Chain A
Amino acid sequence: AQTVTQSQPEMSVQEAETVTLSCTYDTSENNYYLFWYKQPPSRQMILVIRQEAYKQQNATENRFSVNFQKAAKSFSLKISDSQLGDTAMYFCAFTSNYGGSQGNLIFGKGTKLSVKP
């Protein structure tokens, strides 16, 4: 069975500093996709960043970047220059490429990130 593990239930960071959220996953698939989603207190889930397993280059989106280690099955999220608006639950998610569908995400339990002024 495919699983996603986030070992940090809660983290905090000072505004403008950098924080890294950890995620490990388990799969026997070779072709899959990994995501970080953000769920602010308003509850709307927002995609932060995605990574295709076949791409060796780590994905980057503005202040957000990932460290994808395929052999270690690790997918961490780094947030640079943290802002108060980054306060949210962060979920790591996985899906394999069954029939082109990405509609069956497997989520980790989440990491609650608090950015302090």
Chain B
Amino acid sequence: KAGVTQTPRYLIKTRGQQVTLSCSPISGHRSVSWYQQTPGQGLQFLFEYFSETQRNKGNFPGRFSGRQFSNSRSEMNVSTLELGDSALYLCASSLGLAADTDTQYFGPGTRLTVL
């Protein structure tokens, strides 16, 4: 079974631009979560999507948004980029059905650099 894939792997943008990151979950997984990883703040939860609906949301400004498609692929968008948005963005997928047995599998991440 193919793992979680994220594209692109590396991205360089300038302040004020917007960016879209993509995540393809493991086949059969309906939940996709996004996390931001920085040296200063560590790993922080952005949002989770399940069956095309946002199920949970972290404490990030409205510039961060996401969506999920009917095939469970997910995209996250960051508008009006700031220097502080430079980070590794991780995507994780899971079946999303039962917490007792659910396990999140992480992708390799997208390294975003904002200049």
Interface residues of A (CB under 8 A from B): 33, 37, 42-47, 50, 52, 91, 95, 97-110
Main secondary structure of the interface of B (DSSP, over half): strand
Extra A-B contacts (10), CB below 8 Å, given A101-B99, A103-B92 = A33-B99, A43-B88, A44-B106, A44-B108, A91-B43, A95-B99, A100-B102, A103-B48, A104-B48, A107-B43
Residues in chain A near residue B105, CB distance under 8 A: 47
**Could you tell me the distance between the alpha carbons of A111 and B94 in the complex, rounded to whole angstroms?**
25
Whole-angstrom distance between the alpha carbons of A95 and B58 in the complex? 13
Q: Which residue of B lies closest to A47 (CB)?
A: B103
For residue B107, which residue of chain A has the nearest CB?
A: A44
Which of B34-58 touch A at CB < 8 Å?
A: 35, 42-45, 48, 50, 55-56, 58
A sample of 26 cross-chain residue pairs with beta-carbon separation below 8 angstroms, ordered by A number, consists of A43-B108, A43-B109, A44-B107, A44-B108, A45-B90, A46-B106, A47-B103, A47-B104, A47-B105, A98-B56, A99-B55, A100-B96, A100-B97, A100-B98, A101-B31, A101-B48, A102-B99, A102-B102, A103-B33, A103-B50, A103-B56, A104-B33, A104-B45, A107-B42, A108-B42, A110-B43
- Pick from B32, B42, B100, B108: contact of A109, CB below 8 A: B42
Of the candidates A97, A107, A110, the one having the most CB atoms from chain B within 10 angstroms of its own CB is A107
Q: Which residues of B contact A (CB under 8 A)?
A: 31-33, 35, 42-45, 48, 50, 55-56, 58, 88, 90, 92, 94, 96-100, 102-109
**Please, how many angstroms separate the alpha-carbon atoms of A52 and B98 in the complex?**
13
Chain B residues whose CB sits within 8 angstroms of the CB of A50 once the complex forms: 103
Asked if B90 and A101 sit within 8 Å, CB to CB, the answer is: no
Which residues in B have their C-beta under 8 angstroms from that of A43?
88, 108-109
| Complexed CA–CA distance, A45 and B93 (Å) | 12
The minimal Cβ–Cβ distance linking B42 to chain A, given in whole angstroms, is 5
Q: Contacts A91-B43, A109-B42, A110-B42: A101 and B96 contacting too (C-beta < 8 A)? A: yes
Cβ-defined contact, B45 with A100, below 8 A:
no
Nearest CB on A from B65, distance (A): 17
Please measure, in the bound complex, the distance between the C-alpha atom of A50 and the C-alpha atom of B43, giving whole angstroms: 18
Q: For the complex formed, measure the closest distance between the CB of A96 and the CB atoms of chain B, giving whole angstroms.
A: 9
